[in-house]
Amino acid sequence: MRRLLLLTVAALLQVTEALWNGAVPVNPANYPTKDAVPTAKPEWLTLYSESSGNHLVLKNTGFTLGIDATKDIVYCPNSKTVWGITLDDGPSPYTPKVLDFLDLIPEVKITFFVIGSRIMEHPDVLVRAFNSGHQIGCHTWSHPYLASLTNDQIIAEMMWCDTLVYDMIGVHPRYMRPPYGNIDTRTRAVLKLMGYQIVVWSQDTKDFQSSIPSNNFNEQWIVNNMSIWATEQKAGSLVSGNNSPITLEHDLFNISADAAPYAMMQVLSRGFDVQPIGTCLGDQQWYSGVYSPAPPKYNSTTLPTWPLAVINPSPVTTSAVTATATATAAASSVATRTRTSSSNIIVSIPFLISFFCLTSAYLL
């Protein structure tokens, strides 16, 4: 009887943890296998072939619907003073560190391009980012090279990501980013048929290299890159014309998520207006049939205090890619990766109690 009671309490606490984090628990039986190219539902293929009136698009014939690379979103247009910040490949266990920082500056919103397979693991983080007013875009289900897939597989990758996003937060994203920036005219044609705005980037922090131990990647390089770019953009020499940059970062990795707040401060400290991609394009329809008002501009000259404010950029005289971090920055980098926020500790309490109950039940 005691064992049954403990098992019941453990199950209830697991549900409580999911609700505590603001997400409905994901039932894996309703979705494809994680990190594998999924199969499209027949009705999806019928929808897109019939709505276009052109079945050639679904036969890999090379028909392009007039698509070309110039239609991809690379810059924020019509301004030299805004900045589009994007984070890819989440949600992850490290995304909350970025959200904790952004909570200190509620006027500032960014864009998260999320992967369906990662939402399966961290639905609560997706819900938190959305409820905080950040833009959510689709980054496919399994992060494949889209140009290597059939049209049916491309539709499946996007629709399963869209389906899970909708199930979690109730919206259908209109913006997407192709993994690795891998896209061709055929892929663009399929994505246009599906109604997507295709977002790439003008500046890449290369922070994905932080996931490769042999690279000995230092988060200081990410901050230095952003510092150099912000200085060049302020001088009008970073991007051509009356445009502003869209920068690529990742919240999937610990080091890159640690560096993201400091990279963002390099932009904010120079007076740039950080915006979600939809806002910097003047588009309030981030999601199908839903309008998102533009967030207010961040006008404060005082940046928020963040635990690792000792991470400062090296003088902007050398390439950030080869810059060497100071001993202080390196030490603080270690401190970051061992830090756990109080909010994460609180959220973990139900899990720890659940684990204790399950262990006790097993021993009884």
* 247 located within any domain: yes
Measure the CA–CA gap between 169 and 103, rounded to whole angstroms: 19
Over residues 281-289, mean pLDDT: 96
Q: What is the pTM of this model?
A: 0.78
Lowest-pLDDT choice from 193-202, 227-236, 287-296: 287-296
- For residues 183-193, average pLDDT: 96
SS3 302: coil
Assigned domain for 148 exists: yes
Q: Identify the active-site residue in 88, 89, 152, 258.
A: 88
- Model confidence at 297, in pLDDT bands (50, 70, 90)? confident
The residue with greater pLDDT, 9 or 85, is 85
CA neighbours within 13 Å on the CB side: how many for 80? Answer: 12
In-domain check, residue 265: yes
The per-residue pLDDT for range 335-346, each reduced to its tens digit, is 333 333 333 333
Query: Which residue among 152, 250, 251, 258 is the active-site one?
Result: 250
Cα–Cα distance between 220 and 330 in angstroms, integer? 8
- Give me the percent of the chain exceeding a pLDDT of 90: 62
| Whole-number pLDDT of residue 241 | 96
pLDDT at 308: 52
| Domain membership flag for residue 240 | yes
Which amino acid is present at 357? Answer: C
The CB density around residue 68, as the number of other CB atoms within 10 Å, is: 9
How many of the other CB atoms lie within 10 Å of CB of 31?
18
Residues of the chain above pLDDT 70, percent: 72
Residue 79 lies in a domain: yes
- Of 273, 264, 218, 211, residue with least CA distance to 78: 273
Lowest mean pLDDT among 43-57, 108-122, 134-148: 43-57
Average pLDDT over residues 248-259: 96
Position 359 scores a pLDDT of: 46
72 counts as catalytic: no
Q: Could you write out the DSSP letters of every residue in 74-85?
A: -SEES-SSEEEE
Task: Report if residue 182 sits inside a domain.
Answer: yes
What CATH number is attached to the domain comprising 181?
Answer: 3.20.20.370
Number of domains in the chain: 1
Whether 250 is a known active-site residue: answer: yes
* Position with higher pLDDT, 17 vs 291: 291
Check residue 217 and give its pLDDT. 85
Burial class (CB in 10 A: 0-12, 13-18, 19+), 138: buried
Long-range Cβ contact pairs of 358-364 (< 8 A, separation 24 or more):
358/6, 358/7, 358/10, 360/6, 361/3, 361/6, 361/7, 361/10, 364/2, 364/3, 364/6
Kindly report the average pLDDT of the chain as a whole number: 80
User: Omega before 91 cis (within 30°)?
Assistant: yes
pLDDT tens digits along 25-76: 899 999 999 999 999 999 999 998 755 544 434 443 334 444 556 789 999 9
Instruction: Provide mean pLDDT across the span 263-275.
Output: 96
On whether residue 246 sits in a domain, the answer given is yes
Asked if the structure places residue 257 within a domain, the reply is yes
- pLDDT score, position 213: 84
Dihedral class, residue 21 (left if φ above 0, else alpha if ψ from -120 to 50, else beta): alpha
Domain residue limits at 123: 42-343
309-331 b/e (C-beta count within 10 Å ≥ 16 → b): eebbbbeeeeebeebebeeebee
